[in-house]
Amino acid sequence: MSNRGGKTYRPWEPQRYRQEAHSPAAKLPEGDLVFFLIDTVSRLDLRRFYAPYEDETRGAPPFDPAMMVCLLLYAYCVGVFSSRKIALACERNLAFMAIVGQDRPDFRTISDFRKLHLEAFIDVFVAVGRLAGEAGLVKLGNVSTDGTKIHGNASRHKAMSYGYMKQEVERLRENIEVLVTQAYQQDEAEEAALGSRRGDELPAELARREDRLATIEAAMRRLEARAKAEADTERQRRAEAEAERQRTGQKRRGKVPKPVEDAPADNAQVRDHRVATRSSRSWRLASLVPRGFSSSAGLTSSV
């Protein structure tokens, strides 16, 4: 456990995570944005984030606020705003896993932390953006810092005017407030639609492997039975049509049809509430994959 100001927190040791065998961090390029943020957050003054927890003695130790700040910074930089999608990425995305290690916050913890520390988080986000711009980073993921413009002006004029710097800080703050507002709106919409669920869970009858296999096999049997019944009907129709041609002496028009097959088509679907289809909300995991990720920010799993 880590200790800040007398309060015990869950340990956050991103540098140790990088040394572990099969570490997600080891699979990322050395210059990945996530490492810049991990190194930066460890040097920030985050006392505002720790203060609300210092006198709380109930319950288990909370997640280290530094880890939560780093997680939200990275998520928003790469365009992942929903707390549910952030929680999902902590299980499947290498960069997110490099931040949280094996102790992963759920979506409710992420959402509550953001709400509690909204103003402080915006201030830290602005500070990190300014630091990145000063260091020459043109972008923090999807967040423009105008680092190139800042350095270009500084080299031409030797020193930036105080007024210009204030304008840049305000522009950066406005951009970050837009991102935070977008995150809040996504969380509110998902909360209304999903309640206590994360949204990517399998139906209860598909969650356990034994039940899942039984359900899938039953669905396959229903598809096979339906396909056989349809094939028998088609054979009967063809036989009657052929008998009518023989009786009237008419010739077949067009090509000879292909033999009737009893096997279901590959795209056959079971219209049953117990089996998720392509349109089922519970099965649409692809809708939870953040769009616009870079290759190192995408939902890349090591499993």
The pLDDT of residue 66:
96
Bridge partner residues of 2 (DSSP): 9
| CB contact at 8 A, 202 and 282 | yes
φ/ψ region of 249 (left if φ > 0, alpha if ψ in -120 to 50, else beta) reads: left
**CA 154 vs CA 64, 129, 146, 265: distances in Å:** 37, 17, 12, 66
Bridge partner residues of 143 (DSSP): 140
The pLDDT of residue 150:
37
Of residues 281 and 168, the one with the higher pLDDT is 168
Residue 91: count of CB within 10 angstroms of its CB: 14
Residue from 116, 130, 101 nearest 49 by CA = 116
Residue 153 pLDDT > 60: no
Give all strands (DSSP E) within 130-241, no chain letters: 139-140, 143-144
The pairs formed by 154-163 with CB atoms below 8 angstroms and a separation of 24 or more are none
From 71-75, 84-88, 120-124, 272-276, the region with the lowest mean pLDDT = 272-276
Tokens of residue 107, six digits: 């979506």
Q: What is the pLDDT of residues 16-67, one digit of tens each?
A: 877 776 788 888 888 899 999 999 998 999 999 999 988 877 778 899 999 9
The pLDDT of residue 303:
33
The pLDDT of residue 41:
94
Q: What is the pLDDT of residues 180-238, one digit of tens each?
A: 887 778 778 877 777 766 655 555 555 566 666 777 778 888 888 888 888 889 889 98
Tokens of residue 52, six digits: 């609300």
Provide the sign of the torsion angle of the four alpha carbons 150, 156, 161, 164, taken in this order.
Answer: negative
The pLDDT of residue 44:
92
Q: What is the pLDDT of residues 111-151, one digit of tens each?
A: 999 999 999 999 999 899 888 888 877 677 777 665 434 34
* Rounded distance between C-alpha atoms, residue 47 and residue 96, angstroms: 24
Q: What is the pLDDT of residues 257-292, one digit of tens each?
A: 888 887 777 666 655 444 444 334 333 333 333 444
Task: Kindly state the DSSP code that residue 7 receives in the 8-state scheme.
Answer: E
* Rounded distance between C-alpha atoms, residue 66 and residue 44, angstroms: 9
Confidence of residue 90 (pLDDT cuts 50, 70, 90): very high
Residue 165: count of CB within 10 angstroms of its CB: 14
Strands 139-140 and 143-144 turn out to be: antiparallel
Question: Once rounded to an integer, what is the mean pLDDT over residues 160-168?
Answer: 58
The pLDDT of residue 5:
58
**CA 240 vs CA 233, 245, 248, 262: distances in Å:** 11, 9, 12, 19
Tokens of residue 111, six digits: 């959402």
* Rounded distance between C-alpha atoms, residue 9 and residue 5, angstroms: 10
* Rounded distance between C-alpha atoms, residue 221 and residue 227, angstroms: 10
Residue 79 pLDDT > 80: yes
Residue 15 pLDDT > 90: no
Residue 13 pLDDT > 60: yes
In the chain, where the domains are located: 2-194, 204-275
The pLDDT of residue 276:
41
The pLDDT of residue 216:
77
Bridge partner residues of 7 (DSSP): 4
User: Could you tell me the pTM of the whole model?
Assistant: 0.58
The pLDDT of residue 152:
41
Tokens of residue 68, six digits: 């939560």
The pLDDT of residue 269:
66
Residue from 41, 37, 290, 289 nearest 139 by CA = 37
Of residues 182 and 85, the one with the higher pLDDT is 85
The pLDDT of residue 3:
54
* Rounded distance between C-alpha atoms, residue 148 and residue 135, angstroms: 9
